[in-house]
Structure formats: C-alpha cells, structure tokens
Structure 1
Amino acid sequence: MSHATPRRALIVIDVQNEYVTGGLPIEYPGVQVSLANIGRAMDAARASSVPVVVVQNFAPADAPIFARGTEGAELHPVVASRPHDHYVEKSLPSAFAGTDLADWLAANQIDTLTVAGYMTHNCDASTIFHALHAGYAVEFLADATGSVPYENAAGCASAEEIHRVFSVVMQSRFAAVLTTGEWGAALGSGARPDKGSIYASNRKARERRAQQSAAASTPA
C-alpha cells in the first residue's frame, strides 16, 4: 500500500429498490450482504469525514425499470436513511455522464473515488472507467455491490461469473478491489490500497497455468 494520504469521496451508485424488491434483483453477492456493507461503508465514511455522494438513476416514465415516480426507482432505505454530502441524478451508466459530479469533486479537491452500489458490471464499471480516464485513483468495494445474470444473443453468464470477472479486470488496471472491512482499515491507517497491473495479472495467471500443467504431467 502507498502511504500518500488520499482525499477520498465515497460514491454510492443506484442503491434503489429495483435491485432489491423490483424487476432487476441482485443475485451475487447476495443483495442483503451488499446492502449491509453499503451501510457499513457509508457509516465508516461519515466517521472518517469522507464525503458521501449518492447517485440515483431514472428512466423514462414508460420504461420497465427505474421509471421516475415508481417505487422501484426510489432509493433503498439503507441509503435514504443515511446522510450524504452531494446528490447526483443520472440517466446513463457513468455517474459522470451529464451530471455535475466532476465539478463537485474538483471543488472539494477529491483525488480518489471509492465506488459502491449497483451494478458491478454496468454503472460501477462505467463510472470507474470514466474516473480513471479523468485522472482519479479508484477503489471498488467488491462486497458492497453486485450483479445479475444475463442471457442474450452473445451468450449467457451467471451473476457470480459477471461479478468475479469484472472484479478481476478492475484490479488488473482500473481500481483497487477490496472488501468494505479492508477499506475501513485503510481509512484508519491513511494508506492507499494498491491496484494490480495488466502485465502482473497476466503473468501470474500464466505461471499458475504452467504449474498446473506440470503437476498434471508428473507421474503419480
């Protein structure tokens, strides 16, 4: 871990009823687990004077999910019941797209974004990619988020597969991936958790594959 103290903001993305009791239920990690960790992260941020940004997504009134004015589009009580420092309303995946988030972060001299909320592979990933390209350090709380399963013309994938693969990719270049507990410890120490690199991640995978191949070819 680097010990240059980060100036963080916790970005809590789209923790809305749609993902819990609505039409797009989070499956992995379990939604009650992620909700509890989102609450823990918000409480830890408040205790450490880390500003909290709450993001809420809205779709047009005739959309099947996140339609403005519906119960599904409302913030879940875990987030709605806790204080925040800034609120962002969006209609695209990235919390930066068409919002004042970048201006607010600059005004508050933030250099590190900690991302939690939903979903791992969609709005979280889009926001993380956007943040990296804008020059921010990024942290991703992998137990305070979640994914859903997909099946479409390209194939199918379980929620666990999607969450795991995106988390591995994040750690390889885009964000330091850690648990809420690890993040809380980093807040206390002032350390900056390290993300990996594409080269190191690939090299480690190739070395493991070579070891497995060698073990498989060794006579018992």
Structure 2
Amino acid sequence: MPLSTTALLLIDVQASFPARDYWVESLAEAWRPNQRALLDAAQALNIPVVRIFHEAPGSQGAFDPDNGLICPLEGFKDEVAVTFHKRVHNAFSDTQLENWLRERHISHLAVSGIRTEQCCETTTRVASDLGFNVDFVSDATLTFPMTRQGITWSAEDIKARTELVLEDRFARIINTHDLINEWHTLRE
C-alpha cells in the first residue's frame, strides 16, 4: 500500500453529535486523542483527508443544515482535501466520493469517525464492495451505548461486534498506533 494511493476518511466528525441525547462525553474524551493522532499523521504524511458530513434537511434536528451544526466538531476544524455531504449512512451512494478517489488513483482507505456501527461500518462495507482496500481504525471511531428490547449494549460491545463482522471480509481491523507506525514505515 503506497501512501500515494491512500486517503483518510473523517466520517461525521461534526457538531451535530454533542446535541444528541445519547452523546456520552467520557466516551468522546477517550476517542478524541486517537482521531486527532490519525488526522495529524495523515496531514504530516500528505495523505489526503476526506471530510464527510451527514445531513438531514427538513428534520429540524441536529442534522438539519438549518440548525447550524453541520460543521466540524470542536477540535477537528482542520483543512482537508475535500468535503462531501451525505444524506444516507454510507459516504458513497449520494456523493461524488468514489469519483474523487478514482480520479486521484486512491485505492486504500482508512476509515475513522462517528458512529462505529452506522456510518463508519456502512461506508466500510460499500468501499470494500467497490473494490477499495479498507483499514477500519476502530479506536478512531466513536459510538455510544444502544438499547433494544430492554437490553443495553455498551459502546465496547458494539465496537467488538463491528470488528467481528468487518474483519477479513470487508476490512483489516487496525488500531491508530499501528496504522500510524505503518504509514511512517511506508514513507521511508
């Protein structure tokens, strides 16, 4: 994987999420250093960063562009190579992301952002189906506990499940530290 064919996807790292009732600041505090380190490494190594925003026009919620929250999450207002706005769970179906990547001969993606099991996982599956090689940087993804039929799954449970279903099928599961080290080795 040459670095020249690699891009970092920064998925839904946006101000909409802290406005949601499921936001857990302690989980975000654990995620931020990994996301920041990955973003900083990509920028230092001239790996293009692709920002993806999720929006739901007319919803009158945190993802409605009229509410002013479709902007970078505090601490992640960095310059990026390109920004796409999506209205579905994956970053490809209703954007020009695939064309943008192919025009630049990018074939390897590192996936990071918010939420692990939703937009990050779905983007990973679609990217793999489109023929991209994908690194799912699990500790640089953020999610929150979810409850269904009286059972609550922790963020850790959800991440473990996502890693299980993606690994060796749709992506390589890798942590931030190992991917950054690999990028630096490839640079040499």
Higher mean C-alpha deviation, range 62-71 or range 34-43 = 62-71
Cα distance in 2 for partners of 1:73, 1:157 equals 28
Pick from 26, 30, 47: which aligns with 1:50?
A: 47
Matches within 5 A, 1:3-152: 4-5=1-2, 7-26=5-24, 30-80=27-77, 82-152=78-148
> Which structure would you say has the larger Rg?
1
| Count of aligned positions | 186
CA contact (8 A) 1:16 1:72 kept: yes
Cα distance in 2 for partners of 1:16, 1:50 equals 21
Aligned sequence identity (%): 26
The change in CA–CA distance for 1:63 and 1:158 in structure 2 (over 3 A counts) is: farther
Higher mean C-alpha deviation, range 61-70 or range 7-16 = 61-70
Q: CA deviation at 1:179?
A: 1.4
CA contact (8 A) 2:60 2:67 kept: no
CA RMSD of aligned residues (A): 2.1
Tell me the TM-score normalised to structure 2 length. 0.89
Residues 80-125 of structure 1 show CA distances to partners (whole Å, capped at 9, x for unaligned) of 2x11001110110000011000000001100101000011100001
Q: CA deviation at 1:177?
A: 1.2
Structure 1: gaps (5+ residues): 192-220
Tell me the TM-score normalised to structure 1 length. 0.77
Q: CA deviation at 1:187?
A: 0.4
Structure 2: gaps (5+ residues): none
Residues 35-81 of structure 1 show CA distances to partners (whole Å, capped at 9, x for unaligned) of 2221211110111111000000111233433121325433212222x
